[in-house]
Amino acid sequence: MPRYALKIEYDGRPFCGWQRQVTLPSVQGAIESALAKLEPDLPSIGAAGRTDTGVHAMGQVAHCDMRRDWPPFRLMAALNHHLRPAPVAILDCAQVDDRFHARFSATERRYLFRLLARRAPPTFEAGQVWNVRHALSLAPMQHAAQHLLGTHDFTTFRASQCQAASPVKTLDAIDIDCVTLPEGQEFRFSLRARSFLHNQVRSIVGTLERVGSGAWTPEDVKTALEACDRAACGPVSPPDGLYLAGVGYPSDPFAT
């Protein structure tokens, strides 16, 4: 069976998350339903990451096995046709070796978190940014983030229901930028690692927001990390504003 890699974009608000559920709408379920319109009874698709309820994606990657040898651009067009009107789009499609696995072949995941700091709520981007109604300071958050770089026990920033075998992860990069808007500011948190714990990104961003507001110092983040205690974490940010921005592989399946 020919195998295809799919690069996927979606708005996570209508879905219970990526993973297929029996009674709830999911991104996986929407794509598998579209595939079933092309070829019934196909195997389940696999994804690089299982995003949670309300989390978005700009560069999710999944793989699927087909019976027919589809030209990739035709498979992409057919899937996008059958996905309507769901807020899911196949951005790219490539035929890959059958050893390629969207999850297990991945070498890194990249997440973006968008935080809008302004008193007025968002209208056009409601549900796509986290809106806090007070000012934040960029430099203290950037300073605090440096304490999280590298290999650590991230128990403090791990959801209690996380099923990962170990809380030890390596955070390769965390960059925070700020764009000044006519009314307020948008802060963008970009994080990169081979893999993340459940709620790790949202826990980190929620904690750094406390630093930006002045409620915590950068050193408080170091203390929280070293505590290896979930109770030491700051508030967990909502899923609004979190995006799976991209997935890295030893060889880019979409390069050609």
Domains of the chain: 3-105 (3.30.70.580), 108-245 (3.30.70.660)
Which one from 41, 52, 153, 229 is the annotated catalytic residue?
A: 52
Q: Reply yes or no on whether 52 is catalytic.
A: yes
Listing DSSP states for 52-89 in one string gives: -TT-EEEEEEEEEE-SS---HHHHHHHHHHHHTTSSEE
Looking at residue 22, its pLDDT comes to: 86
Looking at residue 251, its pLDDT comes to: 94
Q: What is the pLDDT of residues 80-110, one digit of tens each?
A: 999 999 999 999 999 999 999 999 999 999 9
- pLDDT class for 183, splitting at 50, 70, 90? confident
Supply the mean pLDDT for the chain: 96
Taking residues 217-238, report their average pLDDT. 97
Whether 163 shows a pLDDT value over 90: the answer reads: no
4 half-sphere exposure, CB direction, 13 A CA radius: 25
The pTM assigned to this predicted structure is: 0.95
Q: Name 10's bridge partners.
A: 57, 88
Looking at residue 256, its pLDDT comes to: 74
Whether 253 shows a pLDDT value over 90: the answer reads: yes
Looking at residue 160, its pLDDT comes to: 84
